[in-house]
Structures are given as structure tokens and as C-alpha cells.
Amino acid sequence: MPKEHSKGWLWFAIGLSVVGYLLIGYEIERPETLKLLSTLGLVFGTYFYVVYQKENISVKQLIYLGIFFRLLFLFSTPLLSDDFYRFIWDGRLWFNGINPFAELPTYYMEHANEAPVGINTELFNLINSPTHYTVYPPIPQFINWVAAWLASDSIWLSGVIMRIAHIMAEAGTLFLFPQVLKAFKVNVKNIAWYALNPLIIIELVGNLHHEALMIFFLMLFLSHYLKQKWNWAAFAFAMAVAAKLIPLMFLPAVLLRLNLKENIRFISIFTISMLIVFAPLIEPSFFRGIENSLLLYYQNFEFNAGIYYAFRELGYWAKGYNMIALIGKLFAIGVTLAILIVSYISYYKKILLSEAFLWISTIFALFSLILHPWYIALAILFGTMTQYKFGFLWSFLIMGTYAGYSANGFQENMPIITIEFVAVLGMILYEIRKYRYAKLKAR
């Protein structure tokens, strides 16, 4: 195909992406399944086309295109997720001097005289888990506080302020990507896999999920880690945990790679940073809320949990009831052991930290009882730094979970979930075998 002709198709694909993102950001409601899945199919189709044309685009252009796609959502109100209403709720509480972990939202409806300005029935009716404690750590809560400070009476403007923070975090991630990819000896243009990924753009920016903040600090950590700047690496890692607790699962893999002196320095700075940043929230209610949320996560809630559902069916067959409490505990123990084993093997076999992080985050996601689309953001991030591509297939298939929403509520679509997990597990096994064979042949 002539170069000019190829560029024409490239611009056409980018134009279609713009249309798709505008529709998702401003027009299509979550229950509109056919419209939503068709538009998601459009943006993923153009995504794969543009990525495979990445050699015709400079790294700077890929970064700016990724930022441009994210900016398209700047003035939108999330239509596919209602989580951000809880962010606003938490921010308004904290701005008024009330720890967001102190009470359940229902408490303020029952004790209206104690509710500060902005904590009202209108906002209460929009949040999705009013009978559960908040789960969001300090950095997101600080952004929520800023939104409450600058937009105390506007839900829309609060969302815009939060989105500015998320776009800035994503821009920071994209500008850090080239040096990290170079350090891991990966083609720098692989940045396209993350920069243009529709799941990342829609969920982390459009729907305001905090993985955007966590990923920025993880990238900052990797940048300093690869330069052996342990002080800054430890600080950045602490900030990643303060954005979302999930990165704690990477800590064993990190510490195994440091000598005794480096370990002491890393743990000391990490601990001090954590204590400082968590200090404004720490009180008995904070630990109660976190404990309550973790118990619910592993013993009550279920969503898009393909492997768990297989075990659940065995439980029904063996005992005649849903054994989620037992299975959840066993999964938590099993995943913890698996993470420790992968951390040790990756260190012993001198596997790059990026690949170790990929397998750890993949194991965590596969055995989660709740797997929303944005929960696999780490598999996309670390897949970009390795030769494994299953995360990008997964990013497309997991969006099929939106088919479960309708005007009548939510009902999981088991055939879609089955296709998702069978296809992803199949690709994981295929890629492991493929690259293992390539290594053996290279010897």
C-alpha cells in the first residue's frame, strides 16, 4: 500500500476513534447495550489498526494522540460508572472536617442534622454502595477534597476537576514511558499499546477510576528503580500504594532484588512516607472501614469472576449452596502464596521486574471475585513492557461485561464471561509455550 494511502487510512481510523469516544463520553448510556458494544467495537477496531501502524507514527505523536483522546472526555459526566458520586461524597465530608471513613452514608440520611453542606438526599441517591464504607486511600481522597473545595455545589464541575487530575497523571505516565521501555530494552513505540488503549482511556479518564493515579506513581517508581535511586523509588512506591492499595502485592518482588542495605533504606523511606500521607485519615474508623471492605470483597461480592464461578458450581454440586465465604478465603490465601512464589522465581531466574509485575497482577485479576474492566489496567501497563499481548485481548473482551446492564438493573451474561476467560487463558498458555520454545531454541 502506498505510504500516502496508508496515512489516509490512519487518519480515517483516528477520526473514527474521536467519534467513538465522544459518543461514549457524552451520549451513550450504560443500559444502551447494542449502541455501547457497537461503539466499543469501533474504538477497539481502530485501536488495533493504529497500533499495528505505529511504525508510521513517531513516539511524540503517539503520546500527544493519547493525551488528545483523553482530553475528549474532559467536560463529560461519567455515563458508564457511578463510582465518582462516592468520590464527591467523600470529598465533601473531608472538606468539612469529617473523616470519610467515619460513618456509612446512610448515617447522614438518618442524622440529617449532622450532615454538612452538600451531603444531601440528591447526592445520596446517586451513590452506588450507601451501606458500605468507603475504600479510597489518601491520594484520591485529597483530589476529592480539592474538588469539594473548588466546586462545593456542582457535581459536573467536581467531575471536571477530578478528570484534570487524572489526565495530568496519565500524561505523566506517557512521558515516563519511553525511558522505562528503553531501560527494559523494549521497542519504544510499544507505548502505543497503552497510550491508545480504549479501556485505559474510557475507564481511567472517562470513568475516573483511580488506577490512573496508581499507575503514574508506579511508573515513577520504575523510572527511579531502574536508575537505582532507591530513596525516590521508595517514595514513589509509597505514593502508588496511597493511590490504591493494590501495589502492595509487588513489594516482595521488589525487596528480593535489593541487598540488605538497600532494603533497609527502601523499607524505611516507604514506611515513613506511608505514615505521613495516611496520617490525616488514620483513626479507628479507617481500619474498621478497610477491614469491612476487604471482608465484603472476598466473602460477599461477585462480578465477572470466571475462575471463581467454576469453583462456585463445584460448591453447589458438593454442598448445595454458594460457598463464597470459604472459596473467597482459599483464593485469598492461594493468591498470596502464588504472588510470593512468582516473586521468588522471577528473582531466582533473573526475570525482568516488568514481567514479574505482569504475572503477579494477572494472577491477582484471574482469581478475583470482582473483576471490573479497570481492574486489568495493570496487565495492560506491564504487557506494554513485555512481549506478552494477552492483556490487550483481555482489554477488549472484558468490556463485554457492560452487556449485563439494562434499564431493569444488572444480570451477568455467563456466555460472554465464559468466552472472555477461555480466550484469555488460552492466549496466556499459547504465549507462555511460544516464548518458552523460542528461548529453548535460542540456546
**pLDDT in tens for each of the 443 residues of the chain?**
555 557 888 999 999 999 999 999 999 999 999 999 999 999 999 999 999 998 889 999 999 999 999 999 999 999 999 999 999 999 999 999 999 988 899 999 999 888 998 999 999 999 988 888 888 999 999 999 999 999 988 999 999 999 999 999 999 999 999 999 999 999 999 999 999 999 999 999 999 999 999 999 999 999 999 999 999 999 999 999 999 999 999 999 999 999 999 999 999 999 999 999 999 988 877 777 777 766 666 666 789 999 999 999 888 888 887 888 888 889 999 999 999 999 999 999 999 999 999 999 999 999 999 999 999 999 999 999 999 999 999 999 999 999 999 888 889 999 999 999 999 999 999 999 998 766 655 54
In degrees, to the nearest 5, what angle opens at C-alpha 178 toward C-alphas 176 and 182? 125
Nearby residues of 343 by Cβ (< 8 Å), 6 or more positions away: 252, 253, 256, 356, 360
Task: Give the count of domains, the chain.
Answer: 2
Terminal Cα distance for the chain, rounded: 38
Judge if 216 and 196 occupy the same domain.
no
Burial (CB count <10 Å: 0-12, 13-18, 19+), residue 18:
middle
**Do 188 and 269 sit in the same domain of this protein?**
no
Q: How far is CA 417 from the centre of its chain?
A: 19
Residues 51 and 164 in one domain: yes
The answer to the question of residue 241 being in a domain is yes
* 419/224 Cα distance (integer angstroms): 39
Same domain assignment for residues 112 and 229: no
Tell me, yes or no, whether 331 lies in a domain. no
Whether 42 and 188 map to the same domain: the answer is: yes
The reported pLDDT for the residue numbered 12 is: 94
Phi, psi (rounded to 5 degrees) for 318: -85, -40
The pLDDT value recorded for residue 135 is 86
Nearest CA-CA partner of 367 in 399, 342, 396, 384: 342
**Together in a domain, 52 and 188:** yes
Choose one of 228, 252, 277: the last residue of a domain.
277
Grid coordinates representing 140 are 484520591
User: Which structural domain, as residue segments, surrounds residue 263?
Assistant: 210-277
**Do 90 and 237 lie in a common domain?**
no
Residue with cell 504475572: 359
Who contacts 350 (Cβ-Cβ below 8 Å, separation ≥6)? none
Of 130, 126, 197, the residue nearest 159 (C-alpha): 126
Identify the pLDDT of residue 114: 87
